[in-house]
Each structure stands twice: as structure tokens, then as C-alpha cells.
Chain A
Amino acid sequence: MRSSFLWRNRVMMTGSLLLLIAAHLLTTGVRPGDMASQPEGYLLGLLSPVQSASARMIESTHDFWRDYLDLVGVRRENARLHVEVARLENQRSRLYEMETENRHLTDLLELREALGLKAVAANVVGSDATGLSRTLILGQGYDSGLRAGMAVLSIDGVVGKIIAVSSTSARVLLIDDHNAALDAFDQRTRARGIVAGEIDEGLTMKYVGRSALIRDGDPVVTSGLDGTFPRGLLVGQVSNVEREGPGLFLQVTVKPAVDFRRLEQVLVVTDPPPRVDANDQGQG
């Protein structure tokens, strides 16, 4: 049996079959939330406690290291005081963290009230596994009312939308991912376009007509037409406008309003955003 063609080539044949299965999953366009992606939800849930625990552990190590750095250079003339200072520093760090978290949550609460929509706060516990895509992992999931397609915001502006949910965690596609896009308009000129992520970071505003008088520093806000994000939320500011070159549209670069690497708490809008009439928006 071991000398047969099938046995000798079993690895290549199994591998090829698995490649076909993977290609089938890719070409059928299975998206998070579909039946075929249910194991993904289980995996997301399986790793959620590990991620939360690791996040807490790393945060403690981070605090400890920061305290240590603060203490380097202090003379060791009084060991007891030194330990006491370290303890108090540690306590101060924890209080500072609590105060920061409290401030973030208060800000998010204010944002929720300003939006007038139902929303829940969620903690960020991880980021994308490969780094090539830009996603975040939240420490709350289905049990907290989170669902795929919901908008995720921070006090600074739009963060992204939920693409996969397990009972205890959720994955957010950031607006600067190269597969993300949202309908937005320049608040000053009312020129509409599609804000999309770039593979090498940053945002571009596509399909803006050449007649639009967009300029650097203009705020870009959501139009509400995509049915995901409520209208009027800050996406970013125009950082560059290319008027040269061929084509029907301007090349507009947008600087995101949110620093995605510093996000700790976010707000997930659980209510569907109110419908917006396209005629209320600016012209493209």
C-alpha cells in the first residue's frame, strides 16, 4: 500500500484538496455571520478569555515597567521609603488608569447622549493577528448586545464597524483597512465621496468631482447614507488634495480623526442609524 501512487502523493493531494476548499470559501464570499463562518465565532470566543487575561497581564507589566523607569536614578538611602514610594507610585498609576478609563467612559456617555441612539461601551483587548488587515478585538460580544454591522465610535470620531461576533468578543474592521469604505462628505463644501482605507495606512476620499473646492484642513463627516454610521460624525480632516493628473475625480487624502493605536474604550451603536435622504447631503 505504501508504494502506491496515492500513498506516495497523499500530502500533495490532501494539500490540493484543502486549497480547493479554501478557494471555495473565498470565492463564495463567505462573510462573518454566515453559516460557514460559525467556527470562526467559536474560535473568537475560545481565545477571548486568553486575550482579556493577556491584556490585563501586559497592562500590569506595562505599569510596573513605567514605575520602575520612574524610580531609576533615585538614591537608595532609605529602603523602606523607596518601597513605600514604589507602592504609592503603583497605586497612583492604578488610580491614574482608573481616572483615565473613567474619563473615557464619561466622554463616551456624553457622546451616546449627543447621538440620541442606544449604544454600549466596550473595551479593546486586541488587534489584527497578521497586521496586514486593520481590525480590533473587543472584550464584549453577543451577550452585551453587539451584532455584526454595528457602528463603532470613539469620542474623537468614527472607528469602524463590527464584522464578527462571538458571545464574549467581537471583531471591528477599522475604517483605515483597505477593505473598508464609508459614505462621507466635506463639511465645508458639502462635496460627497467614499472614504476608503489604503493598504499602507491612511484614508483617501474617492469619487470627489474635480469642481469641488475642497482644501486642506476641511473636516470630513459621515453622510449617514451607508446605513451603518449616523450622519455628521467626524471621520477626519483633509490633509492633501491632488488636482493634477488625468481622471474625473480629485485625489483627496484624509487624516483620520481617531488614533486607532491608542483606543482603549469604544462606543458601539446598537440602534440602527436614522434614515437619511440623499438630497439632504452635499453634491458630489
Chain B
Amino acid sequence: MISDDQGPIGVTRLILLFTAATLVALALQTVLPYWLPLGFALIPDLVLILVVDLGLRHHGALAALMAFVMGYATDAFSGTHIGMNAFLTTLVFLLAYEIASRLMVTNVVVGVVTVILGVLIKDSGAILISSGMAGFGQVGRMFPQMLLKAIVTAAFAPAVFAAMAGLKRLTGLPAASGREDNRIEGVLR
């Protein structure tokens, strides 16, 4: 078994749900900025919010694989280095997973903070990977814009988390990780 969420039906539902959500997120991320030219900083990274949702609430090897695939899908629509977004989204997933595994409850505040950290890590990583050593100076130059983007993305995060939780309930998937439920039950006992 590669996921601790549910059986094969739950796994299939989880994959389908996140596949559909990723496609919608990518369609929005590629089409909206073209029609509403807001600039790099004001485009929310919706795929990253989905990856954080995965990392905080789905603790299995499948979720890690899904984060990788979501990053690879982003590579198809961004930049010139294949594997860069796959690498960085997997890294953000592991960060979210580590945060979730150390906290008793992963509420929306934890999600928002993780999204801010995730955007900063992902964008700094993207600049460093694509620019090499010269990237350190560029990260400094771009930091205000990256921070603004992190805040904009974080502002969208609660709505995306709520939408995903609603869709998970609708499809019969658990909204929180099984491990989190076990820990709360342990405390209550």
C-alpha cells in the first residue's frame, strides 16, 4: 500500500481530485495573467497551495509522488529547465509534511504560513537553479516581489484549502490526515 489515506478507491479518488485541481490551477495560472497583466508578483501560485494541502493532510508515498507530478506538469508550462518545478514542489511537499508531522493540528494558519515559506523557497530555488551563482544577487533583487507573491498566494490559500476540503468530503475522502485524527484522539483520551 502506497498511501495511508484509504484503500484503492480512495487512492483513485485522491489522484483524480488532485489531477483535476492541478489542471484547473494551471489553466488559470497560464490564461489569467495573459488577460490581466498583473506581473509576476500578483500571480498566485495555485499549484503550490495544492502541494501544501497534500503535504499537510495526506501522509503517504503516493502524496509525494503526486507532488512531483504536479511540479513536472508545471514544468510543461513554465521556464526552460525540465525538472526544476518537479524538484522544488517535491521540496515544498516535504517541508509541509515535516511541519504537519511535528504539529498536533494543521489548521488554516499553519497552511498559510507554510504557503508563504513554500513560495519563498520555490521562487528562490527557481532563480538559483536557472541562474547559477549569479542567482544569489538576483534573489536579493527579487526578494520584495517574491514576498509580495508569497502574501498574494497566501491570501488565496484559505479559499483553496476550503474548496479542496469540500471536494474531499464530496468524494468521500478524509479532509485531514489519519495520523492527525489519531493524535487528537490520543490527547482526548
Contacts and interface: CB of A to CB of B under 8 A. Distances in A.
Interface of A: 10-15, 18-19, 21-26, 30-32, 36-37, 39-41, 43-44, 46-47, 50-51, 54-55, 58-59, 62, 124-133, 135-137, 163-164, 171, 173, 177-179, 199-200, 261
A261 B42 CA distance: 15
A41 B27 CA distance: 15
Interface of A, secondary structure class, is: helix
B15 interface: no
Contacts of A171: 77
Contacts of B131: 178, 199
Given A10-B61, A50-B23, A55-B35, A26 B80 contact: no
B118 interface: no
Contacts of A62: 35
Contact of B29 (A24, A130, A200): A130
Interface residues of B, number: 59
Interface stretch (B65-73, B104-112, B161-169, B181-189): B65-73
B59 interface: yes
Q: Which of B23, B65, B94 has the most CB of A within 10 A?
A: B94
Contacts, number: 176
Interface of B: 23, 26-35, 37, 39-41, 43, 45, 47, 59-61, 63-65, 67-68, 71-87, 90-91, 93-94, 97, 123, 126-127, 129-131, 138, 141-142, 145, 149
B176 to A, nearest CB: 16
A41 B93 CA distance: 25
Given A15-B97, A51-B27, A129-B47, 12 more contacts: A18-B90, A19-B91, A25-B86, A40-B82, A51-B31, A62-B35, A126-B30, A127-B31, A127-B34, A133-B78, A178-B130, A200-B142
B47 A133 contact: no
A21 B83 CA distance: 8
In the A-B complex, the 3 residue pairs with the smallest Cβ-Cβ separation, listed nearest first, are: A25-B83, A22-B87, A126-B30
Contact of A26 (B27, B61, B87, B127): B87
Nearest to B46: A129
Given A130-B29, A130-B79, A23 B87 contact: yes
Given A126-B31, A199-B141, A26 B23 contact: no
B79 A43 contact: no
Contact of B82 (A15, A30, A179, A199): A30
A132 B33 contact: no
Q: Which of A18, A126, A130, A136 has the most CB of B within 10 A?
A: A130
A78 B158 CA distance: 45
B59 to A, nearest CB: 6
Q: Which of A24, A136, A199 has the most CB of B within 10 A?
A: A199
B31 A58 contact: yes
Contacts of B33: 127-128, 131
Contacts of A128: 30, 33, 77-79
Given A22-B87, A129-B29, A171-B77, A31 B82 contact: yes
A177 B126 CA distance: 13
